[in-house]
Amino acid sequence: MESGRREQLVGHRWAIELIERSRAAGHGAHAYLLTGLPGIGKFTTAMEIAQTLLCASSSACGSCRHCRLAARSVHPDLHLIEVPSERKNIPIKDVHEFLQGIALTPVEAACKVYIIRGAEDLAEEGSNALLKTLEEPPGSVTLLLTAPVTTAVLPTIVSRCQVIALRPVAEAEIAEHLAVEHGIEVGRARAIARASEGRPGWAITAAEHPDVMDERHRRARDLLDLLNQGRLERIRYADGLAEAWGKHTDDVRDTLKAWTEAWRDVLLTQRGLADRVRLIDIWDAVQETALQLSREAVVDALAATLRTADSLDRNANPRLALESYALFLPRTGDR
Ligand SMILES: [Zn+2]
């Protein structure tokens, strides 16, 4: 298992308490499936649950030997499987190795915890191997699975797990965590928390890599600038993106995401909800655009952005899709 300090849990305390309560009442489940958006904290929550289960006292005391080993991901009764970085799926060989010895008694703790990070990455064979274990789980074992949604996992697996659906964490809680634990200046912590849509993992990444937020603002500003450009400049910009689609597909996706966000912010501003705007570094340009365009034009542009992103993912011709999008965008006067 990889070692290193684990990320601190932000939000989701209810999930830990739920497990503590059911365990105290003697009816803890053998398998839990944690679902939620990327960066929401599924894995961090799973690790916190693991520590709770392994701890010598009743709830993750943080100071016993089990807690200390679990916090460093080196507890001999804590097992983890995830998709190797260079692979698309978890290889069946890894699944067999992972499940081997699951029926043996724990080494140090009173129980054993098996974490499957990204159960959606199990291929059919791997899912079936896991299913066999889930049908007759050894008494001392708790399995913790994570996946973005239940539909990404084999229904027969889901039906054998207690599903814990993680919800977005409160903006204030994320902002406080960034300020207190990561030393981020309060104003910036708030801006990042707002942009994170309740996902602490995303927020921490954005805080530690300022380029994530800067890049998002830069892309959004490009869009607002494009609105006062003519036909030729728009086509040129669209073609640049279309060329990037093949090689840097995720960059183009991120661009369309930033643009969706820009249109959303313009719309919120028009509706007098400026306090919910996320792209606060380009607030002036957002406000200016909101003043210059009709609501209909903004709603249409937002819809067109979502449609274009969707059609690209459905293998539309990128040049055609992006050019027609760029030409469809409304026109603002000079700013
Ligand atoms: Zn402990």
Q: What is the pLDDT of residues 8-17, one digit of tens each?
A: 899 999 999 9
- In the chain, what is the greatest distance between 2 CA atoms, to the nearest angstrom? 72
> Is 114:1 a contact under the CB 8 Å cutoff?
no
Do 90 and 70 reside in the same domain of the chain?
yes
Give 52 Cα–ligand 1 centroid separation in angstroms.
7
Give 114 Cα–ligand 1 centroid separation in angstroms.
18
Give 56 Cα–ligand 1 centroid separation in angstroms.
5
Structural domain contains residue 112: yes
Do 184 and 317 reside in the same domain of the chain?
no
Predicted local confidence at residue 335, as pLDDT: 43
Which structure tokens are listed for 99? 């499940």
Give 100 Cα–ligand 1 centroid separation in angstroms.
27
pLDDT above 90 for 5: no
Give 54 Cα–ligand 1 centroid separation in angstroms.
7
Structural domain contains residue 295: yes
48 or 4, which is more confident:
48
> Is 75:69 a contact under the CB 8 Å cutoff?
yes
**pLDDT over 90 percentage in the chain:** 69
Structural domain contains residue 129: yes
pLDDT above 60 for 169: yes
pLDDT above 90 for 279: no
Q: How much is the average pLDDT of 270-288?
A: 86
Contacts of 26 (CB under 8 A, 6+ apart): none
Do 141 and 192 reside in the same domain of the chain?
no
Across the chain, mean pLDDT equals: 91
Q: How much is the average pLDDT of 224-247?
A: 93
> Is 238:322 a contact under the CB 8 Å cutoff?
yes
Q: What is the pLDDT of residues 28-83, one digit of tens each?
A: 899 999 999 888 999 999 999 999 999 988 777 888 999 999 988 899 999 999 98
Predicted local confidence at residue 145, as pLDDT: 97
Structural domain contains residue 335: no
Structural domain contains residue 147: yes
Number of folded domains that form the chain: 3
Strands 112-117 and 31-35, bridge-based pairing: unpaired
pLDDT above 80 for 302: yes
pLDDT above 60 for 275: yes
Do 187 and 216 reside in the same domain of the chain?
no
Helix (H) or strand (E) holding 315: none
Q: Which domain holds residue 298?
A: 210-328
Predicted local confidence at residue 53, as pLDDT: 92
Q: Where are the alpha helices (DSSP H) in 152-230?
A: 155-158, 171-182, 186-195, 200-208, 210-226
Euclidean distance between CA atoms 197 and 189, whole angstroms: 13
Give 84 Cα–ligand 1 centroid separation in angstroms.
30
Do 39 and 108 reside in the same domain of the chain?
yes
> Is 146:177 a contact under the CB 8 Å cutoff?
no
Predicted local confidence at residue 6, as pLDDT: 61
Do 159 and 106 reside in the same domain of the chain?
yes
Give 170 Cα–ligand 1 centroid separation in angstroms.
28
Do 308 and 237 reside in the same domain of the chain?
yes
Tell me, what CATH number does 33's domain have? 3.40.50.300
CA atoms within 13 A on the CB side of 31: 20
Low-confidence winner among 26-30, 92-96, 154-158 (lowest mean pLDDT): 26-30
Q: What is the pLDDT of residues 120-138, one digit of tens each?
A: 989 899 999 999 999 988 8
Do 145 and 289 reside in the same domain of the chain?
no
Predicted local confidence at residue 280, as pLDDT: 78
Give 108 Cα–ligand 1 centroid separation in angstroms.
13
pTM of structure: 0.74
Euclidean distance between CA atoms 250 and 255, whole angstroms: 8
Do 140 and 188 reside in the same domain of the chain?
no
Tell me, what CATH number does 247's domain have? 1.20.272
Predicted local confidence at residue 88, as pLDDT: 80
Q: How much is the average pLDDT of 153-165?
A: 95
Do 129 and 19 reside in the same domain of the chain?
yes
Give 95 Cα–ligand 1 centroid separation in angstroms.
29
Give 205 Cα–ligand 1 centroid separation in angstroms.
28
Give 111 Cα–ligand 1 centroid separation in angstroms.
13
Structural domain contains residue 127: yes
Structural domain contains residue 80: yes
Do 20 and 161 reside in the same domain of the chain?
yes
- Among 25, 119, 53, CA closest to 80: 119
* Measured CA angle at 286 (ends 281, 292), to 5 deg: 160
Give 110 Cα–ligand 1 centroid separation in angstroms.
12
pLDDT above 60 for 21: yes
Give 113 Cα–ligand 1 centroid separation in angstroms.
15
Give 1 Cα–ligand 1 centroid separation in angstroms.
20
Predicted local confidence at residue 2, as pLDDT: 37
pLDDT above 70 for 220: yes
Do 25 and 95 reside in the same domain of the chain?
yes
Predicted local confidence at residue 256, as pLDDT: 95
Structural domain contains residue 4: no
Predicted local confidence at residue 247, as pLDDT: 83
Give 66 Cα–ligand 1 centroid separation in angstroms.
6
97 or 276, which is more confident:
97
